[in-house]
Structure 1
């Protein structure tokens, strides 16, 4: 992690316990090394126990990752970086529309049966998403909207959580699977969210770029570059979700601190070169 990236992330981390009123023992390892260890694991897909000796002990890194995820620290960092990226692109800090999608990946033997599932449509195990990780049995076409806003399952439940955490969302773009089971009128009636589906043109074969949908597919491609996400090894779904968030944090911090390529240095006659004149 570069100095510029650390300058973005360090102020967003919680205050060490030894600096609070309750007090606590000073932290033994620098937090920058902790963050580097988490990012190394996500990017290279290693086991927690295979953490190189150059980093703090794996139990220390895992403990910080668990505590920060449970305390909501990752969400604060993610949202902060996202706002900066949107402002740098000339957009508003918050968006009024989102694109939703699901992605299923295989699970290793370390994943418990309670969090496993079979996705018959995608032929894979243990579905995951950018905002939540669930069993693959909850495929997008098998879910149905609840009869009331309090029913705690289905796409309706996901939309309810989306409306609760982000009340500014007005439009949700999705694939044609979300148009089944009456989700669209339910979301409009109870949540005041408009769900719009993007369908493939008729009589088309193979891969084609779909309007709106291409953005979420590109995002999946970026996330899957982190080798830890090619297969799910975590026993706890919340840790799988946290590692996905870390991949997004890495992408955004690198984008914000990326320096533009310097123009080629001008070589003059003193170096034995003559600059060509413009025509």
Structure 2
């Protein structure tokens, strides 16, 4: 047991967790590894883990395709990535209870390549929609984009300058349903035109969510995009009018658009997503899905973002 836990509180004060991931059952994970203690607020509960473990694909060695049996728990790896998404920081600064940072990054890179985070996210979206009394497939969506500053690790080839927002970095384009759940995400340079990015997203939207026929957007998507979407893809793109603001009046909510604005605010609650630190755009898109996945898994498990419920405060 790591010294970190011995110095905090007696082991009996921790919430123990069980794991049934494939490396723990069939791999070379040490015998003490399956039973962990939840040391961080971002660590998954057993209920949260049950919601996502079936989506993680089988490793090649288990299917007879070669390779060495894994030595690290999938649940611990996912907890490490959730910790990094929520708290920010460098890869090499991951706390000791997690596996070595290099191993965590290797898992992250492989899961991005295998589209694991998108599969986990899609499964959570369907479960939340069913729990809310909706059908698994949405029929309407909202699109928006957000420019974020990029760190020095972002190369010049994948960044740009947004003249309207005066931001040098990247832009993340998201499509959400009427509950605010992310359906699609794409990361481009900040100089990418919203309408150009929307064309590619709309194509993917109609392929993955065939029941969607209605889309709302802001005035940044005005122009020829609406006729093109209706003529080419059968999507009815509507741009709600701004209610206007008179002197002395407060903030006014714009119909439907507030939903996607709230989703963007949910993403930026996770420190790793406040700026873009990733060398590759698809890595930043994966962290956006991780940020949204933290909230969705907690929502399914009945947890809350407020406070440190479920984790002993003395563990910090």
Q: Same fold (TM over 0.5)?
A: yes
* Structure 1 match to 2:266: 222
Moved over 6 A (4+): none
- Structure-to-structure mapping, 1:101-250, within 5 angstroms: 101-125=144-168, 126-130=170-174, 131-140=185-194, 143=195, 153-180=196-223, 182-204=224-246, 207-250=251-294
Once residues 158 and 73 of structure 1 are traced to their aligned partners in structure 2, the CA distance between those partners, rounded to angstroms, is 20
Quick check: 2:138–2:209 contact (8 Å CA) kept in 1? no
Larger Rg: 1
* Structure 2 match to 1:45: 88
* Structure 1 match to 2:301: 257
* Structure 2 match to 1:11: 54
Deviations 1:28-63, CA, capped at 9 Å, x for gaps: 111111001100000001111111121111111111
Per-residue deviation, 1:23? 3.4
Per-residue deviation, 1:259? 5.7
Q: Count how many residue pairs are aligned between Structure 1 and Structure 2.
A: 248
Quick check: 2:89–2:272 contact (8 Å CA) kept in 1? yes
Secondary structure (helix, strand or coil) at the match of 1:101 reads: strand
* Structure 2 match to 1:263: none
- Structure-to-structure mapping, 1:84-99, within 5 angstroms: 84-99=127-142
Return closer, same or farther for 1:83/1:154 CA change in 2, 3 Å cut-off.
Answer: closer
TM-score, normalization: structure 1? 0.84
* Structure 1 match to 2:8: none
Once residues 26 and 236 of structure 1 are traced to their aligned partners in structure 2, the CA distance between those partners, rounded to angstroms, is 28
Quick check: 1:86–1:93 contact (8 Å CA) kept in 2? yes
* Structure 2 match to 1:33: 76
Per-residue deviation, 1:154? 4.5
* Structure 2 match to 1:64: 107
Return closer, same or farther for 1:204/1:177 CA change in 2, 3 Å cut-off.
Answer: farther
Quick check: 2:137–2:209 contact (8 Å CA) kept in 1? no
Task: Judge which range, 232-241 or 57-66, deviates more.
Answer: 57-66
Once residues 252 and 60 of structure 2 are traced to their aligned partners in structure 1, the CA distance between those partners, rounded to angstroms, is 52
Quick check: 2:124–2:296 contact (8 Å CA) kept in 1? yes
Per-residue deviation, 1:216? 0.8
Secondary structure (helix, strand or coil) at the match of 1:87 reads: helix
Once residues 168 and 209 of structure 1 are traced to their aligned partners in structure 2, the CA distance between those partners, rounded to angstroms, is 27
Segments of structure 2 that go 5 or more residues without pairing to the other structure are 1-43, 175-184, 305-316
Segments of structure 1 that go 5 or more residues without pairing to the other structure are 144-152, 261-279
Quick check: 1:119–1:139 contact (8 Å CA) kept in 2? no
* Structure 1 match to 2:118: 75
Per-residue deviation, 1:204? 4.5
The structure with the greater share of residues assigned to strand is: 2
